[in-house]
Amino acid sequence: MTNNNTGQIEFWNSDHGLAWARHADTVDVMFSDITDAVLVAAEVGAGDRVLDLGCGNGGTTLAAAERVTAIGTVTAVDVSAPMIDRAHERADAANLVNITFLLSDAAVYPFAEQSFDKLISRLGAMFFDNPAAVFARLGPALTPGGRVALGVWRGPRENLWAMEPVAAAKPFLEMPPRPGPEDPGPFSFADPDRVRRVLAGSGWQGIELTPLDFQIPLGRTMEDALAFVLEMGPLSAPLGEVAGKNRTRAIDAINRVLEDNTCDDGIVRLAGACWIVTAQAG
């Protein structure tokens, strides 16, 4: 098993990463329930030294920085240059000076021993080639008993926000092969037994998984929802490779799904399902 994460690094520095950076506010609206659950589960508070794993556009980073106050710090790491740049901009706009951003792969970055009290991640822990090796390296970076809280997706069948548009558009598109259940990707931590095996095998203790079920708002408007599906969701790549009638039919099918799930306030909402994973450093 490799530990170089080359495929993910290329992916998140491509047009896909640029799209996620461009729609940072939509992403934070969508995943705000996960952000809140992770910060509560990690017990992030004043004075903590926090490591944010796979920080993306910095939504969770900024929220953690406010919780730790001026006497705490947040170090945020991600492989995506577009998203780290966007996170920098957002931190500057919020006048948060207790954040350090690292454009690096956490699988290889030399974190100092016992330099953090808490480790958090909102949907950033599932993309490593060798997660057991990564979490074995991260354990010593926390103080003994330091707490980790991860938000990770459960299975695709429970995550209608991703799967309903796919099911509607699939007849008109050439879809890529589905990743294996343990291949890097959004659902690689869906199996709770695998999560326990990865963390226990890398030295973490007191592992618990708590289900989080919620309705995901796909941004604030119908336009936000369509932009997410077309530019960032699992259909973005296959839609980019099709033209003509099939593309039109696929987008029409997606629009019908979004319209069917538009609430009275005009916001598109679809079901999401996560695990909130907690553990302590040994």
Q: pLDDT, tens digit, for every residue of 104-113? A: 999 999 999 9
Are 258 and 222 spatial neighbours (Cβ–Cβ below 8 Å)? yes
* Residues facing residue 233 across a β-bridge: none
Percent above pLDDT 90 for the chain: 93
Convert the pLDDT of each residue in 51-73 to its tens digit. 999 999 999 999 999 999 999 99
Mean pLDDT on 200-219: 97
Are 261 and 130 spatial neighbours (Cβ–Cβ below 8 Å)? no
User: Does the pLDDT value for residue 1 go beyond 60?
Assistant: no
Angle, helices 222-231/244-260, rounded to nearest 10 degrees: 130
Domain boundaries, the chain: 6-159+179-217+272-281
pLDDT classification of 215: cutoffs 50, 70, 90 = very high
Half-sphere exposure of 279 (CA within 13 A, CB side): 25
Phi, then psi, of 2 in degrees rounded to 5? -80, 170
Phi, then psi, of 161 in degrees rounded to 5? -55, -30
Alpha carbon distance 130, 5 (integer Å): 8
pLDDT classification of 179: cutoffs 50, 70, 90 = confident
pLDDT classification of 4: cutoffs 50, 70, 90 = confident
Percent above pLDDT 70 for the chain: 99
* Residues facing residue 211 across a β-bridge: 275
Is the whole model's pTM more than 0.85, yes or no?
Answer: yes
Over its C-alpha atoms, the chain yields an Rg (Å, rounded) of 19
DSSP state of 159: -
Widest Cα–Cα separation across the chain: 59
Q: How high is the mean pLDDT of the chain?
A: 96
Alpha carbon distance 246, 105 (integer Å): 38
Mean pLDDT on 18-43: 97
Note the residue count of the chain: 282
CATH 3.40.50.150 fits 6-159+179-217+272-281, yes or no: yes
